[in-house]
Amino acid sequence: MRTAISTRRRLLVSLCLGLTVFGLQLRARADVTIEDSGYVFEKDAPTDTAKLSWTRVVALFNQYLSNAKQLNVFTGTCRSGGLANAANGLKTVPYVVSTATTVDQNTTDGWSTADKNPPGRLPKHDTSDNVVNKSFYYSYTAYATKQLRTGVSTVQQIQDSAKNNMAVDTAVGGTPQLVTGNGGNAATNINAGASSLAMVFAGNMARLHTDLPDQPYLAFKPLVTTTSYYLYDQNPSTTNKVTIAGDGTLKSFNAGLTNLQTAIDANKSNVTTNILLEGHGYATEKNVTPAPGAIPGTPKQGEEIAPPPTGGGIQLNIGMDPGFWSDLHEGVTQSTPGLFRAEQPDFFLAISEGSISQPVGISIDGISLGDFSINVPSTGGAMLDVPLSDSFLSQLFTDEPTMPSQIPITFDLAQGDSFRLALADDILDDPTYTQPEYGTGIGLDVEGVEGMEPVPEPVGLAMVVPVCLLLRRTRRAAP
């Protein structure tokens, strides 16, 4: 696993006034770029939203959970530190957020037939809550669950268990983060208040260990008043002590939050709410440049992108980080043991408002991505998402044999056309803005996994199928 690089906002200055690059006139500008991340959901249909920035997840928490006594969130995904960074967008609810990593780290979802002492890995429990022989998990979620198995715990104890065990079990990787706000207290028990809730949600678990989320669900269940569980690729069902309410889609996530809200609002400020998120995380390198004189906490304050009166294109830069640059190569020029590319990297552009009558030409590092028609409605914003093919990436790596400090993205618009770059405040402060992301840049999803956990042998088949080779399976039949 790669070494953490501290989270940062970067100020990149492009001195391009009067220069012609790739046939486009570029103007001088100061760019603000960040490394960010988000959460990946299961997709049931091609039109399903699969990825939300952590800022959009925070906006959902604001929408549904504002009346909780305290919101405790535990996140075991790669690059989950983006939630720790975005958590300051929680407006009123007292919160404690614990994440597996910083914003720029991968972490490993591990399983083995052997324990490791120290630290002592998490023994797997089956759906009857019985220990499974020679079956152990090691990950942030596993080591957080290890603490839950000791009984009622504080968020700090759960965080410390994960952090201390991961420091010893170096196969996991990642540096857990803990942030609090709005009066949230990490020393509070997870079942404080008149009642307590826990929701375990496992979104996209493709090629990860899909029995792992059972473990925190079973551990939470005797400790809080009500526990709910949503699991990748599963229909609602009950098997022994495990009840699954739905799958890992965004639709199920909203349904789960709605159910939490109903219980919270029936006893406002008295219900401690715990959410554990497992699955894939994605990373982005993005440009989030505000307009001159932008007002914080106000929508539609992003840079306006319009062609200069004399013609030409507009260049925005994104920064680059060694870990992100390495992950961008995964599945194209390299195949790192313990890592896999979950999907094609993509270019994205989030727009808060604009008027675009002609296709927009877009280039990355001088390589044409194409011309794109973008419809920007009067409300709601707009989003362009374009997968980056392996041939496109190969050309980028040929042109940039070593990591550049920044990569330019150039927009060529017709005269009279313009758009405004969406910022985090559009997600947090404009209820009409519906897009899952903000800014513009490149995103990727590279995951860490170790071990091939066997699944129960189907009747009449003398074979064991490794879960890492299964794309979709029905582990528990629908009722």
Span 43-63, pLDDT tens digits: 999 889 999 999 999 999 999
Tell whether the model's pLDDT for residue 399 goes beyond 90. Answer: yes
Cβ contact 70:154 at 8 Å: no
29 — pLDDT class (breaks 50, 70, 90): low
Give me the pLDDT at residue 245, please: 98
Give me the pLDDT at residue 454, please: 82
Q: What is the CA radius of gyration of the chain?
A: 23
Q: Please say whether the dihedral angle defined by the alpha carbons of residues 83, 88, 91 and 93, taken in this order, is positive or negative.
A: positive
Give me the pLDDT at residue 456, please: 55
Tell me which H or E stretch contains 14: strand 9-14
Q: b or e along 234-264 (b: 16 or more beta carbons within 10 Å of the residue's beta carbon)?
A: beebeeeebebbbbbbbbbbeebbebbbebb
13 — pLDDT class (breaks 50, 70, 90): very low
Cα-based distances in Å from 109 to 65, 206, 294, 472: 29, 12, 41, 18
Q: What are phi and psi of 54, to 5 degrees?
A: -60, -30
Tell whether the model's pLDDT for residue 19 goes beyond 60. Answer: no
Tell whether the model's pLDDT for residue 6 goes beyond 80. Answer: no
Strands 95-99 and 70-75: parallel
Q: b or e along 54-90 (b: 16 or more beta carbons within 10 Å of the residue's beta carbon)?
A: bbbbbbebbebbbbbbbbbbbbbbbbbbbbbbbbebb
Of 262-266, 284-288, 307-311, 444-448, which range is least confident?
307-311
Token code pair at residue 148: 């839950």
Cβ contact 391:432 at 8 Å: no
Tell whether the model's pLDDT for residue 3 goes beyond 70. Answer: no
Task: Provide the whole-model pTM.
Answer: 0.92
Tell whether the model's pLDDT for residue 336 goes beyond 50. Answer: yes
Instruction: Calculate the average pLDDT of the chain.
Output: 91
Q: How many residues does the chain have?
A: 479
Token code pair at residue 18: 């009067």
455 — pLDDT class (breaks 50, 70, 90): low
Tell whether the model's pLDDT for residue 467 goes beyond 60. Answer: no
For residue 348, the cross-strand partners are: 385, 441
Give me the pLDDT at residue 72, please: 98
- Type of residue found at 42: E
Higher pLDDT, 106 or 475: 106
Give me the pLDDT at residue 310, please: 85
SS3 state at 328? helix
Tell whether the model's pLDDT for residue 354 goes beyond 90. Answer: yes
pLDDT, tens only, 59-91: 999 999 999 999 999 999 999 999 999 999 999
Angstrom distance (rounded) from CA 321 to CA 5: 8
Token code pair at residue 55: 């800022």
Give the closest residue to 259 by CA, choosing from 78, 70, 419, 64.
64
Residues ≥6 apart with Cβ < 8 Å to 133: none
Cβ contact 452:434 at 8 Å: no
